[in-house]
Amino acid sequence: MGKLSFRPKSTVLVHGKPWRVVRTVSPTEVLLEEAGTHRKEVFDIADLKADANPGEAPPPAIDSLDEDDLAEARRRLEIIKPLLSIGRGRTKAIDTAAAEYGLGRRTIERWLHNYEARELLSDLAPQRRKRPMPTRLHAEVEALVAKVIEDFYLTKQNLSPRKAYETLKRLCAGIRRKRPHEETFRRRLDAVPEELKLRRRKGRKAARDRFAEVKGAFPGADFPLAVVQIDHTRLDIDLVDDDTRQPIGRPNLTLAIDVYSRMVTGFYLSLDPPNAFSVGMCIAHSALDKDAHLDRLGIKGRWPVWGLPRRIHADNGKEFHSKTLDKVCQQYGIAITWRPVKVPNYGGHIERFLGTTARELHAIPGTTFANTRDRGEYNSAKQAVITLDALERWLTQFFVGVYHQRVHSGIGCPPEEQWRRGIMGHGRHKGTGLHDPIPDPRRFWRDLLPYTERLVRREGIVWDKISYFSDALRPWINARKGGRAQKFIVRRNPRDISRLYFLDPEIGDYLEIPYRDLAKPSISIWEYREAERFLRDQGRAAENEDVIFAAREDMARIVAEAKTETRKARRTRQRRKPNAQVTEPGTAPVAAAPSGRLSLVVDNTGRQADEFDIPDDIAITFEEL
C-alpha cells in the first residue's frame, strides 16, 4: 500500500492521474502540479489518493517480532534518527555514522530507505532470527551495571547512554567478565524514572520545571501534535434510552487535546468505565481523518486534525500502561510519558478543558451539575432528554463549531487559528506543513485492539469458551515450536466479539476469523460477561458457548418483556446497540442519526389525503439538545 504524503515533491493521485505536491495552501488544501503537463491547481486533500506501489510488501505486524528483534529495531532507529531530518550533507553524515558505529555505509542507507517509506519501527527489524540472548547477568556484572548508572550516568556529568556503556565495558574487562549487550544496558537506563534522571543529571529546578508544570507553555509542545494529552471524565449529564426515553445514567468521555493549539484531536464516548479499549479508540479517532465522522453525524464544517502525535501524555491509570498501547507507540514512533505520581495539576491543559466541557453541558436538560449545592432540588433523571448518539453529535458540534472557533485565553487566538499557524507558519515561526495521514487506517485500528495468545486446536481458537474457525487456521492446528505447543497472537473488538484477528506468522499480518458457528449472533464482551453472571446467579455453570448464548437470549427476553424497566435494564439494552465510534475503518458506516427535526404526522384514516393542504416546507422544529 502506497503512503499518502503532502510533503513537497511527493506524488499523489487525483482521479487516477499522478500529480506532484508543490506546497500546502491551507490546513485542508494543497497546490499540485500535473505530471507531464505541469499544470498547477489547488485541490482539497479529501480528493487525493496514495500513489500505490503494487510490488510493496505489507509491513510486518509489531506483534510478530520477538523481543530481540524489537530491541535491534530500536537500536537501528536510534542510529538513523539524527539522519532523518538532514537534507544537504546527508552523505557525509551517513559516512560519519557508519564510522562511529562500525557499520557499512550501504547498511545505514538500507535502514533509512526501509524506515522512510512508512516510518514504522517494524520495518527496521532484522529479516533473520537471532539466537535468544540471555537477559540474566552474572551477579558481579549486575553490580557493575548498578554502579555505572548510579555513579556515572545519574550525575551532573550528563554522560550519554553510549558513553556510560563504554564505561561499563571497561569495568567488565577489569574483572574479566563478559559485558552485557548494549541494548540490555539501555533497557536498565529506560527503567530509571524520568523525574529521577532529570533531577540527578540536570538539577532540581529542571525537574521541577518539567514535572510541576501548571500554567504557561507545556515543555516540548512547540508545534501541532508535538504533545497530545489524554484523560477521562464522567460527564455531568443523565442520558436516556433511545427507545423508551427513560434515564440510563451518566456516560464516560475519553478525550485527547493538542497542547500546542488546544485543538481537540479526538474522543470516545461510552457507558462503560474508562479502560484500555476506550484509550485505543480515542487514539484511533485522534489520528484518523474526521470527514467520515462528520458525515455520519450530519455536521457541517471541517475538523482538520489527523496524524500521529509525537508524544502522548497521560496520567498513571492502568489503562495507559497496557501492552497494547506500549506496542502501538513503539511501532508508530510515538513517545508516551505519564504524569508524575502525586502531582495532580501536571497536565492541567486537558483537565481545564474537561472542566470547560462539563460547564457547557450544564445547559442541557438532565445535567447532574458538578456538586450538590449547584444541583439544589433539580431532578436530573426526570429532566433528562438526550441520548448517547445525540450527546456524541452535541459534543462534536461543540468542538467543531464553537470551541475551535472562539478565542482561547491561554494562546490568545482560536484553537483552529493556532493550528493553522502551526501548519502554515506565522511570523518567524516556520510551519510543519500538513501531517501525513495514516497509510493503512484499518491496520492502525486493529493494532489498537486488545490481544491475547491462544493455541490453534482442531476446533479452532477458543477465547472465553467461544470457538472461532476458518480454513486459514488449518496449517497451524496443533503447531509446535521449540518442542512446545505454539501460541498465536489474536485480537478482537470488545464491542463485537463475533470475529477474531489472527496473526499469521508466515505473512506477518492479521486474518479475520469468524465464529465457528456462524448462526450465533454478534455480541459484545460486556454482554458475554453479563450472561456469565446471569448463570452464576441461577446457580448454573457457563459450561460452553451454547449455554452462554442461550442465557444471553433469556436476558434479552426478560428485558424486552419487562413492563417497568429499571435503570440498569435500560442501560443494559442501550449497551447492546451498535456504537459507530468503534466501526472498523473501511467498513459500512452506521446509519446517520436523526437530524433533530420532528416531522408533522397526520392521521388520514377515513379521509382523502388531498383534504389536507400542507406545504412541503412545514415542519415542527425543536431544540432536542
Q: What is the pLDDT of residues 330-380, one digit of tens each?
A: 888 898 888 765 554 455 678 788 877 877 776 665 455 444 444 444 444
Residue 275 in this model has a pLDDT that exceeds 70: yes
The predicted structure's pLDDT at residue 47: 87
The span from the CA of 320 to the CA of 275, in Å, is 8
pLDDT digits (tens, 9 = 90+) for 89-118: 888 889 998 888 888 888 999 999 888 877
**Whole-number Å distance between alpha carbons of 39 and 35:** 8
Cell triple for residue 16?
487516477
Provide the residue type at 302 as one letter: R
Per the structure block, which three cell numbers stand in for 45? 486533500
Measure Cα distances from 271 to 229, 331, 387, 462 in Å: 22, 30, 11, 28
Residues 6 or more apart whose Cβ sits within 8 Å of residue 108: 79, 80, 83, 94, 97, 98
pLDDT band at 2 (very low <50, low <70, confident <90, very high): low
CB-side neighbour CA atoms (13 Å) of 138? 11
d(CA 37, CA 248): 61
Please identify which residue in the block is written with the cell numbers 460486556: 526
Q: For the segment 9-34, what is each residue's pLDDT rounded down to a tens digit? A: 888 899 888 899 998 888 889 899 99
**All cell numbers assigned to 293:** 465522522
Position 118 scores a pLDDT of 79
Per-residue pLDDT at 243: 66
**Which range has the worst mean pLDDT, 110-114, 165-169, 346-350, 435-439?**
346-350
Confidence of residue 288 (pLDDT cuts 50, 70, 90): very high
pLDDT of residue 256: 94
Strand ranges inside 199-310, DSSP E: 228-234, 239-240, 247-249, 252-258, 264-270
pLDDT at residue 526 in the model: 81
Would you call 76 helix, strand, or coil by DSSP?
helix
Residue 213 reports pLDDT greater than 50: no
Closest CA to 244 of 549, 612, 565: 565
pLDDT at 613: 37
- Which pLDDT value is given to residue 367? 54
pLDDT > 90 in the chain, percent: 25
Query: What is the maximum span of the chain, computed from C-alpha positions, in angstroms?
Result: 105
Higher-scoring residue by pLDDT: 519, 611: 519
> Which residues, in sequence order, are CB contacts of 106 under 8 Å at separation 6+?
none
Q: Pick the more confident residue, 553 or 602.
A: 553
Pairing of strands 484-485, 509-514: unpaired
State the DSSP string of 55-73.
TPPPPPPGGGS-HHHHHHH
Band of pLDDT at residue 606, cut at 50, 70 and 90:
very low
Of residues 354 and 283, more confidence is placed in: 283
Max mean pLDDT among 130-134, 274-278, 386-390 falls in: 274-278
Give the Cα separation of 330 and 122 in Å (integer): 9
Q: What does DSSP say about strands 17-26 and 29-34: parallel, antiparallel, or unpaired?
A: antiparallel
Secondary structure letter of residue 237 according to DSSP: B
- The percentage of residues in the chain with a pLDDT greater than 70, rounded to a whole number, is 78
Please name the helix (run of DSSP H) or strand (run of DSSP E) that holds residue 349, with its range, or none.
helix 348-361
Distance CA 444, CA 122 (A): 13
Model confidence at 570, pLDDT cuts 50, 70, 90, reads low
Average pLDDT of the chain? Answer: 79
Separation CA 95–CA 106 (nearest Å)? 10
Return the beta strands (E) in 295-397 as ranges. Answer: 311-314, 335-338
End-to-end CA distance of the chain: 43
